[in-house]
């Protein structure tokens, strides 16, 4: 196994050239970003099979829209945005998650849970409310906050992914949290 040392931009240009190396170049891009895309999706969807299907859909979107990518932004930022937007689209399509009859126990609780139905509902409602408000945050705050809190990345890792200084990342996370808190309090 050899390590491909081509930059993302070089791989994208090779993909867009539509020659015998295009498929290999796109495969390398997929290999570089599949874990990032999958982890973003899995954090939101919480179903491994569905997350795998959605990841494939995301990479199809990436492939179809590769010509629209501009090197003004890092490729990782662009692909994270496509992933986030696709997840939002999936949530809109789904609207409400249902639980089958077989998943209920005789006492009305969901199999495999120890919390009351009310507690589960309230927790789910709070999570949905936070995620809804989070998706409404400006992109400059949303991306660092999600990467830090939902993906567990350090300030330095976020800085490397986004291409901004660590001090700016810390500031954006601070301001993003503050704005999120204000919006949560305002919505009560």
Per-residue pLDDT at 134: 82
What pLDDT, on a 0 to 100 scale, did the predictor assign at position 2? Answer: 57
Model confidence over 65-109: pLDDT tens digits?
Answer: 999 998 888 999 899 989 988 888 887 777 544 444 444 444 444
| Amino acid 68: pLDDT | 92
User: Residue 110 in 3-state DSSP?
Assistant: strand
Q: Can you tell me the distance from the alpha carbon of 136 to that of 142, in angstroms, rounded to the nearest whole number?
A: 8
CB 128 within 8 A of CB 41: no
Q: What 3-state class would DSSP assign to 122?
A: helix
Residue 53 is predicted with a pLDDT of 92
Give percent above pLDDT 90 in the chain: 31
Domain limits, CATH 1.10.1740.10, in the chain: 1-96
Give the architecture (CATH level 2) of 1-96: Orthogonal Bundle (1.10)
Q: What is the pLDDT of residue 116?
A: 61
| Residue 113 structure tokens | 């849970």
Most confident of 42-51, 96-105, 113-122: 42-51
pTM reported for the whole predicted model: 0.51
User: Which CATH architecture describes the domain 111-188?
Assistant: Orthogonal Bundle (1.10)
The token duo for 127 is: 């999570």
| DSSP secondary structure letter of residue 111 | T
DSSP 71-109: TTS-HHHHHHHHHHHHHHHHHHHH-S----GGGB-TTSP
């Amino acid at each position: 196994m050899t390590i491909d040392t081509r930059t993302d931009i070089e791989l994208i240009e090779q993909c867009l050239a539509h020659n015998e190396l295009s498929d290999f170049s796109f495969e390398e891009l997929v290999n570089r970003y599949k874990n990032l895309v999958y982890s973003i999706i899995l954090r939101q969807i919480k179903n491994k099979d569905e997350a795998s299907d959605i990841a494939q859909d995301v990479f199809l979107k990436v492939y179809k829209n590769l010509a629209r990518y501009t090197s003004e932004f890092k490729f990782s930022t662009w692909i994270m945005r496509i992933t986030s937007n696709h997840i939002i689209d999936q949530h809109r399509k789904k609207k409400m998650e249902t639980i089958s009859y077989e998943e209920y126990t005789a006492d009305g609780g969901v199999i495999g849970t120890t919390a009351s139905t009310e507690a589960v509902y309230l927790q789910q409602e709070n999570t949905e409310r936070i995620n809804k408000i989070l998706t409404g945050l400006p992109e400059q705050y949303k991306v660092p906050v999600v990467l830090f809190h939902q993906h567990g990345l350090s300030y330095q890792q976020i800085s490397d992914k986004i291409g901004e200084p660590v001090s700016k990342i810390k500031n954006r996370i601070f301001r993003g949290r503050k704005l999120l808190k204000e919006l949560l309090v305002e919505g009560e």
